[in-house]
A = this chain, B = another copy of it.
Amino acid sequence: MKQLKELNDRIIRRVNVNLEEFGFDTEDFVNNSLEYDKMLKFYAFYGITSQHPIFFHFRNSNIAGSYFLGQCYVGRSAIYKSDIRGDELKRKGDTIRYRKDVLLVEDERITIRDSLLYKTLVHSNSHNLESPEEFSIHNTISAHYVNIHGSDLQGCFLGPFATVDMMNLHSCIIGEFSYVQAGELFHRKVDPGTVWIRNQNFEFKYKFKKEILDNYVGINSFHQPRGIIYDFVKEREQNYEKLFDVMNLDSIKAPPTSAVNRYAVVQGKIQIGENVLVAQRAFLENAIMGDGSNAQENTYIINSHLSGNCITAHGGKIIHSEIGHSTFVGFNSFLNGKPTAPIKIGEGCIVMPHTIIDPDIPISIPEEHLIWGFIRSKEDIANNSIALDDLAEIRDTLRIGRMTFSGLGSVFIDGFKKRLEHILLANGALFHNGENRGHAQDDQNISFNIIQPYPKGELEGLYPSIRIEP
């Protein structure tokens, strides 16, 4: 165990150096989140398919409970119960556009060094133009249920349920339940509960009231999460255990164009349409998944009906809800309907990342709306949504409730719609007659391989160096 403890100490020191200016010490978080017995107990696994380039290299690390797909290097790191999904990495021969085309001369890889990721999802590909062949996370600590989506990180601390999306961060602290998509940030501290999208054409900003956020995702003095959303996921944690106990599970009934990952929890009455993707660590209970809909990692679809081409981004939670066709439910959104207070979202809506809808009475949002923030009552709807057509008219600044939008509304909406189209394509929702294959088709045949650490001695808890190539 000695070397594993040294590894964690080294990570703490390296991250702390980067965050010194904020007077932030990561030691409390690390020492209170890591349970060494679990780091020994849970196996890691990696998937092999005939669709994704293979390269795995794990070295001087503990990767307990984590799942890897695609191409990934992990060195001197602790990756606990995390999903490192390298199935959307760029490939040799791809070009990226920045003024002129830049050609990739080798397949992109994820590299994670000197970092601690705790129940974190790493996905997409590097949006850093300086290193298109490397999606890198260095000297970084991320807390429970963080989404690192196509974001290069260097010397950062990401609080519980934070999302960083298609950007680059250097020596930053992102507060709990904050969503940031802001190009490049240096030496910044983002307050908890901030939803912030910024580029050269527009800026969207919303910030949760502290008292409200505290109820849903708070942290204690050791930076450990608490609150309603954390309790919600914690209560369901043991449902996943059975998936890891057996080697072969009965497969879930689904059309041959759809993929239900064997590491997803699927219980109650379930209906899976065509071209549906249910990713590993998704949780389905009494759910109807319309054609082309998806439930990504760490999503929960409970007593709900998703119409065709619905997207539930990573960490989205949809309970007692009916979601209209082509509607997008963003990262970590919490749609907490109840039997007596169901939620209905119309067609073609965009539920912004990190939106909380938690009503006591039935809530219904019309089609083609943007929805954000915190909705508890019918009155809140006006202050937390806008028709897409109205937003498209905006050319300067719009303030509604705690939300500020500035810039070109039409560019914001077009960009969003294009991204949703890309997500549907990548997930295989548009598969037809053998064209437009995506995850729903490619992920049907995965071999899962299981790796464990040294069980005893000085190296206890560390994994041997393992290198897998075609």
Residues of A participating in the B interface, judged by any CB pair closer than 8 Å: 43, 48-50, 54, 244-248, 445-460, 464-470
Q: A50-B456, A448-B452 are in contact. Are A466 and B464 (CB under 8 A)?
A: no
CB of A447 within 8 A of CB of B452, answer yes
Report the separation of the CA atoms of residues A457 and B442 in the bound assembly, to the nearest whole angstrom: 12
Within the complex, the shortest CB–CB distance from A445 to chain B, in Å, comes to: 4
Do the beta carbons of B248 and A247 come within 8 Å of each other? no
- Separation of A456 and B47 alpha carbons in the complex (Å): 13
Q: Select the residue from A245, A452, A457 with max chain B CB neighbours within 10 A.
A: A452
Q: Is the CB of A470 within 8 A of B464?
A: yes
Q: How many copies does the complex hold?
A: 2
Distance, CA A457 to CA B456, complexed state (A): 39
14 more CB-based (< 8 A) A-B contacts, given A50-B456, A50-B460, A246-B247: A48-B453, A48-B455, A50-B455, A244-B247, A245-B247, A245-B248, A447-B454, A449-B449, A449-B452, A464-B468, A464-B469, A466-B468, A467-B468, A467-B469
- Residues of B close to A54: CB separation below 8 A: 464
- Chain B residue nearest in CB terms to A246: B246
Assembled-state Cα–Cα distance A199/B230 (Å): 72
Query: Which one, B48, B245, B459, B465, contacts A468 given CB within 8 A?
Result: B465
Q: Tell which of A449, A454, A456, A457 has the most Cβ of chain B within 10 Å.
A: A449
Contact of A245 among B43, B50, B246 (CB under 8 A): B246
Closest residue on chain B to residue A462 by CB atoms: B470
For the complex, give the distance between the alpha carbons of A197 and B283 in Å: 63
Contact B456 A49 (CB under 8 A): yes
Complex formed: what's the CA distance from A45 to B468 in Å? 15
Are the CB atoms of B448 and A456 closer together than 8 Å? no
Complex CA–CA separation, A459 to B445 (angstroms): 13
Q: How long is the Cα–Cα vector from A450 to B43 in the complex, in angstroms?
A: 10
Q: A83 → chain B, closest Cβ, in Å?
A: 19
Whether B244 pairs with A455 at a CB distance below 8 angstroms is no
- Nearest to A41 among chain B residues (CB) is B248
